[in-house]
Structure 1
Amino acid sequence: MFSDSENHRSDPLSGSTADSADKHDQLYVTEAEEAVDELERVSGVHPGYRRAHAGGFCCRASFLPSGKAAPFTTAPHLQDREIKAIVRFSGSSTDPALADLLSPAKGMAVQFALPDGGVTNMVGVTVPVFFARTPSSFMDMLTTLNRTKAGKMPKSEALIHFARHFGESRQSLLALKRLKPPVSYATNLYYCIHVYILVDAEGRRRPVKFEWIPDLGVHTLSIHDAAALPDDYLEKELELRMLSQPPSFKLNIVFGEEGDPTDDPTKRWPSDRARINAGRLVLLEPIAEPRGLLMDPTAVPEGIALSDDPILNFRRETYAESMKRRSGGH
């Protein structure tokens, strides 16, 4: 576990780093193993499944860029040619069998097939912020939850631990509390909660966030109505919807301004930030999840760089560790 002062930090506009990359890479690997251990303790090990967002539903999709992002980035999937994509919708639970209703936050991960044969990913969720600012606070909250559930920590002590992180988790908890069951995976707004850096042809760097806006609008159900539906109603609904009218999403790029945090996924940017419509994603047909599908949000192409967000940078090793375990049948 490393403290805030040991976090891997960089200037998001210059790309400079404050500490040795090798040192922090090893710290991230060690913490990734510990994080996946704790995720496995939440609902047990489910062989072959992801350690979070375990249950999922995949679609073949097509992304048509608008061209409006091209002046700000050389990223190939944001230029002017149609891009093939795979979209994976999911609940947030570590249990793949959990009913849709019982997993309030939903996820939408998009993998773009790049012209050079590589891939890049965007990972979105239905809450605009994360609940932990650093890997160490994430681990502290997850460990506290598991120890309390297992009867290894008194509730009074657990409350002290959670109170320590209330300032950073407050916005996420409030957003989660406001969530209602969606009518469809296609009627959610999905936030890519981390900051990225767009890099243009001249090397200029601009901090941004991404949002997927449903063309159908945001529509929800009452708890009572959702409870009457099958446990996997969202998958069944989307399958039927795609047979009649392929749903679609608009990709918004939100531009940060001076003073907007780039290293804190628990904080929102002001709502008046400039936005552009970078393109439209159309869901075409359901597919079986491809073997070895890895939606790593740190896999970015030329023209996009990672910000100094420690949670974002931590995800690379955590996703890799989860993939290693599920590929091994664990």
Structure 2
Amino acid sequence: MSERTPTPLAITAVDAIERVSGTYPGHRRVHARGLCFDATFTPSGEAASLTTAAHLQSARTPVVVRFSNSNTNPTVPDGIRAGRGLAVRFLLPDDTSTDLVSVNIPVFFAATPEQFLELLDALEKDPGTGAPDPKKVQAYTAAHPSAAAGLQEAARMPIPVSYGTARYWAIHAFVWVDPHGRRRPVRYRWEPDTGLQELSEEEAAGKNPEYLAEELLRRLVDGPVGFTLRVQLGQDGDPTDDPTKPWPADRPEIVAGRLQITAPVADQDHWAAQVYDPTRITPGIELSDDPVLSFRSHAYSVSYERRADGK
């Protein structure tokens, strides 16, 4: 269920998403189609000295994973260049949970919620062409140059062979708190055990509309599908308040643990209805000063209320 009170800005943003992408009653306003799976997370121990978060210590943690297509339209075929999501809910020993929400691009295309609204305005379809006006998008990137990298990444998103052969980034900075109260910014990335495997547009055109879910179900017959959680450790001066800006590639990384996906969940309706919220954190992890990160929770609340009401 939703945990945040929607803000006027969040309501305006979801209204804009509906204008750009349409409204599909009962569905999320983004990442409308997805499938949930049981999984386990086994920490490596490398993070234990950097954060007190329970799931990053030594014990294995049960997990529910939701893979999704980022489109608002739940019937859009998988075989196109589009965002893919990997939402992971860690079910902690004290009966609480924490979420790690990631997508298949490394950076976002707006530094603030207000910029995101500007982008949505630029993406509104021209009635005459049925497509966004390129001049409006160009004007947006000219006004916000740091957003260009995210838009370029979105334009060249790979078409994966499988949900299990894609790379996923959490895009925002978070803050780890160690046992002595010391804080350090971090960024998360999931790396597939298989390595990256992609389809050409010609290969993807021959696939079934929902081939990603179908493929993953077949793949799991042969055993678990795995990912490694890699964590980039920030240094002084690395931006934590702007999801459009990556950190330098030479920043150290650790392996925090491994995710193994085993089977579809038994209660698909229950887990599909959940809100996977990147601000649902646990002691040992804090939110950064990224305004888009905190905004997402409010926007999700708006989306949840509307789909729960069948709108």
Cα offset, 1:166, TM superposition: 4.7
Q: 1:61 aligns with which of 26, 33, 39?
A: 39
**Corresponding residue number in structure 2 for 1:294:** 275
Superposed, 1:1-330 pairs within 5 Å as: 29-146=7-124, 148=126, 155=133, 158-159=136-137, 161-287=139-265, 288-291=268-271, 292-330=273-311
Q: Is the 8 A contact 1:181 1:223 kept in 2?
A: yes
1:154/1:268 Cα in 2 relative to 1: closer, same or farther (>3 Å)?
A: closer
**Corresponding residue number in structure 2 for 1:20:** none
More helix by share: 1
1:90/1:275 Cα in 2 relative to 1: closer, same or farther (>3 Å)?
A: same
Supply the distance in 2 between the matched residues of 1:214 and 1:154 (Cα, whole angstroms): 34
Q: Which residue identity is paired with 2:45?
A: G
Supply the distance in 2 between the matched residues of 1:56 and 1:154 (Cα, whole angstroms): 26
Q: Is the 8 A contact 1:106 1:126 kept in 2?
A: yes
* % identical aligned pairs: 43
1:164/1:210 Cα in 2 relative to 1: closer, same or farther (>3 Å)?
A: same
Q: Is the 8 A contact 2:279 2:294 kept in 1?
A: yes
Q: Which residue identity is paired with 1:74?
A: T
TM-score by length of 1: 0.87
Supply the distance in 1 between the matched residues of 2:29 and 2:83 (Cα, whole angstroms): 16
Q: Which residue identity is paired with 1:208?
A: V
Q: Is the 8 A contact 2:61 2:90 kept in 1?
A: yes
Structure 1 unmatched runs, 5+ = 1-24
Q: Which residue identity is paired with 1:54?
A: A
Q: Is the 8 A contact 2:122 2:133 kept in 1?
A: no
1:153/1:229 Cα in 2 relative to 1: closer, same or farther (>3 Å)?
A: closer
**Corresponding residue number in structure 2 for 1:7:** none
Q: Over aligned residues, Cα RMSD in angstroms?
A: 2.1
Q: Which moved more, 1:103-112 or 1:119-128?
A: 103-112
Structure 2 unmatched runs, 5+ = none
Cα offset, 1:57, TM superposition: 1.4
Cα offset, 1:289, TM superposition: 4.4
Q: C-alpha offsets along residues 217-273 of structure 1, whole Å, 9 cap, x if unaligned?
A: 111011101111111111110000001121100111110012111001001111111
Q: Is the 8 A contact 1:120 1:299 kept in 2?
A: yes
Q: Is the 8 A contact 1:91 1:103 kept in 2?
A: no
Cα offset, 1:69, TM superposition: 0.7
Q: Is the 8 A contact 1:246 1:282 kept in 2?
A: yes
Q: Which residue identity is paired with 2:226?
A: S
Cα offset, 1:318, TM superposition: 0.7
Q: Which residue identity is paired with 2:220?
A: M
Cα offset, 1:90, TM superposition: 1.0
Q: C-alpha offsets along residues 192-222 of structure 1, whole Å, 9 cap, x if unaligned?
A: 1000000011110000001101111111011
Supply the distance in 2 between the matched residues of 1:209 and 1:301 (Cα, whole angstroms): 16
Q: Which residue identity is paired with 2:92?
A: L
Q: Which moved more, 1:86-95 or 1:289-298?
A: 289-298
Q: C-alpha offsets along residues 92-127 of structure 1, whole Å, 9 cap, x if unaligned?
A: 111111011235221111011111111111111111
Q: Which residue identity is paired with 1:257?
A: Q
Supply the distance in 1 between the matched residues of 2:20 and 2:132 (Cα, whole angstroms): 17
Q: Which moved more, 1:149-158 or 1:65-74?
A: 149-158
Q: C-alpha offsets along residues 269-318 of structure 1, whole Å, 9 cap, x if unaligned?
A: 11111111111100010122425311000010010000000100111111
